[in-house]
A = this chain, B = another copy of it.
Amino acid sequence: MVEALQSPEFIFNEATVRERWGLEPFLEGCAARGLSRASLWGEEVDKAGLEEARRMLSRTGISTFGFNRAGPLLAAGAAGRAECLDRARRAVDMAAELAADHVLVFSGGLAEGSRDLAGARAQTEDAIGALLDHARSVGMTLALEPLHPMVAGDRAVILSLSHANAICEQLGEGIGIVADAYHIWWDERLETELSRAGAAGRILGFHVSDWLVPTKHVLRDRGMMGDGIIDLAGMWRQVRAAGYDGPVEIEIFSDRWWAEDPDLVLDTALARCRSIFWGG
């Protein structure tokens, strides 16, 4: 029992098996392994329909942890951005309908032809402020997840915990950060910024996969935990030391693992996580 208490809660992000499983088999796969929470994607909820998705959650006894996602927020022109913001508000509403713990905010990349990263950052910060007003009104928490600098401009403009923390500090309550090991492990400010977020009670989630050498694709070549060079156990100690007591969320974007039997993926991931994080 002592060991069991020391083990973190492990949960899956649906994207890990998205190529071969829809929402229902995913939730059943989680439930079959004794898990009680999962992180979902709006596209999959849309395919099932919101009411049916809620029934699946209820039937499997799974509750929603992270909801993906509100965004992109960036577009060319004020009208385009207003439309993005409307869609993001609806994503926040869906997260609330699913009783998610938090909704991930996705800035998206530069508008076609633009090279103005600083301008895009300012627009993103404005949009997050507006989205937060709405999120507060429906009782949903926004999560900023800095993405790896290799997707800068293409898919994201918030590329460090420092930037995400600064936005949170400016905006106040109802917004925090998700620390995804894959995106932030390289940062020499990592421990400082985790402490900064933790001190304010703002760490909402901790995502894991691994960094492979060589990395063959900038989006779809994340590794199974243990197959790469990230010190995941060390980062988990930092995240816990910063006060986080939530689950370890497994989120692997990988052509290699998407091609595998999803049951094998879940079992492999859980075995790896138990080995890496147990008692950590």
- Chain A residues with a Cβ under 8 A of chain B: 109-110, 114-117, 121, 148-150, 152-154, 159-160, 162-163, 185-189, 211, 213-215, 218, 229-231, 234
Contacts and interface: CB of A to CB of B under 8 A. Distances in A.
Given A150-B150, A229-B115, A186 B211 contact: no
A276 to B, nearest CB: 11
Given A110-B229, A115-B229, A234-B115, A162 B188 contact: yes
Contacts of A186: 117, 149, 152-153, 159
Contact of A154 (B148, B185, B214): B214
B230 A115 contact: yes
Contacts of A160: 187-188
Contacts of A215: 150, 154, 218
13 contacts: A110-B229, A115-B229, A115-B230, A116-B231, A121-B188, A148-B149, A148-B150, A149-B149, A152-B211, A154-B213, A159-B187, A159-B188, A163-B188
Contacts of A213: 109, 153-154
Given A159-B188, A160-B188, A154 B218 contact: no
A211 B117 CA distance: 13
